[in-house]
Copies of this chain bind each other. A is one copy, B any other.
């Protein structure tokens, strides 16, 4: 969604208008105040903005959406476990009490580093410090596959996938041709990372439990869920023992886990992989992401995933006052391994950059180069099992799930959401019930 389509030419704000924030009480602006512009209100951008709450600067956070999305739980919206509003909070509400911050709904077109200006599709934002946290989106080896195998990054992706999964059951219920019915009841998830594992587990439960008694002509038990993983094991980022545990938990849910299998083509009726043909009406793409265009805007050195190869202080090479964080940045951990694109990393990077910018503005001492030691990882498999790797502690099964739930509920922004999510989970857990099975946005 871009603001562009909504704003008439006469609505373009004067350049100076967004230079400085008027004081809440006096209405006065301080033209000498440094301007910090943050692009993206994900985990990285938002924690940077909040960490700057005491900084004597004018903060402007720009996002295409008016809400912060708790992406780690997006798969639950896609599988009718949660409602979009459960995992999204309006950015303005998050920052409403931070008087030095302002929210702008807009889409970045380019960055003019010589003029130190961000170009939105309908205004220009001057900056003294720029924090780029524009994230990543799912990527395909062949772009044409996206039509048949939607990915999972935005709320619209999730509601589209949800409608597609639920419509498959509706169609199977009235299908007379056995082959067609089986294709409708076959669900393929491509990619064995956390998202793929969580999607596959959630679909299996939706099919085998929540929908159990709903239909007359089909038993959703007939559903076939296949997870295709290119690597030798699922959750390659995790310790091997945890990968095995996750695979076993998936198979216990009835998911067919196929590893070391490369997808060759995707079409409307299924997937071809490793010489085999898999007929399926629903194919979900959870294999690999590509960083946003930020690297291109800044014409900065990038890695294979389009992420900016930042300096030890997370600044963009050649631009001391521009920083890249989160999925847009390629950062290595203490032991030299690249950091994964997960929320805790993005948050820590956001806080670090905020501290650095604050130090520069207040002429304080720069903090030491960014370091990130223990990467902790979590992935859930269905409603009562998860694998957790905190480095010093590894959990599987139900203990893992409890840890995982606690962590996710805790990190959800906004108490109301926490409460609603906890409530939904409790309900789903007690009743095997899935309350959000609404087809509100049917897509092909």
Contact = CB atoms under 8 A, between A and B. Distances in A.
A176 interface: yes
A45 interface: no
A216 B61 CA distance: 13
B440 A156 contact: yes
A216 B103 CA distance: 9
A152 to B, nearest CB: 15
Q: Which of A21, A155, A159, A441 has the most CB of B within 10 A?
A: A441
A7 B436 CA distance: 23
A337 interface: no
A115 interface: no
B214 A93 contact: yes
Nearest to A170: B105
A102 B216 contact: yes
A103 B215 CA distance: 8
B85 A167 contact: no
A170 B423 contact: no
B66 A170 contact: yes
Given A1-B442, A170-B3, A416-B435, A180 B66 contact: no
A428 to B, nearest CB: 9
A83 interface: yes
A177 interface: yes
Interface in A1-22: 1, 3, 5-8, 10-14, 17-18, 21-22
A294 B78 CA distance: 35
Nearest to A177: B10
A334 interface: no
Interface in A341-373: none
Contacts of A290: none
A176 B214 contact: no
Given A66-B166, A156-B440, A175 B11 contact: yes
A208 interface: no
A167 B10 CA distance: 17
A89 B96 CA distance: 34
Contacts of A419: 423, 427
A217 B92 CA distance: 13
A174 B13 contact: yes
B22 A216 contact: yes
A10 B427 CA distance: 39
Contacts of A67: 437-439
A123 interface: yes
A41 interface: no
B435 A214 contact: no
A65 interface: yes
A84 interface: yes
A97 interface: yes
A417 interface: yes
A213 interface: yes
Contacts of A7: 171, 174
Given A65-B439, A166-B66, A423-B419, A96 B177 contact: no
A87 to B, nearest CB: 10
A421 B201 CA distance: 29
B83 A21 contact: no
A8 B214 contact: no
A92 B416 contact: no
A416 B420 contact: no
A213 to B, nearest CB: 4
Contact of A21 (B84, B171, B216, B423): B216
Contacts of A175: 11, 13
11 contacts: A3-B171, A6-B442, A11-B174, A11-B176, A67-B437, A83-B84, A85-B435, A92-B437, A103-B214, A155-B440, A420-B435
Interface of A: 1, 3, 5-8, 10-14, 17-18, 21-22, 65-67, 83-86, 88-90, 92-93, 96-97, 102-105, 122-123, 155-156, 159, 166-167, 170-171, 173-177, 180, 211, 213-217, 414, 416-417, 419-420, 423, 427, 431, 433, 435-442, 444
5 tightest CB-CB pairs across the interface, nearest first?
A92-B214, A83-B85, A96-B213, A90-B437, A85-B436
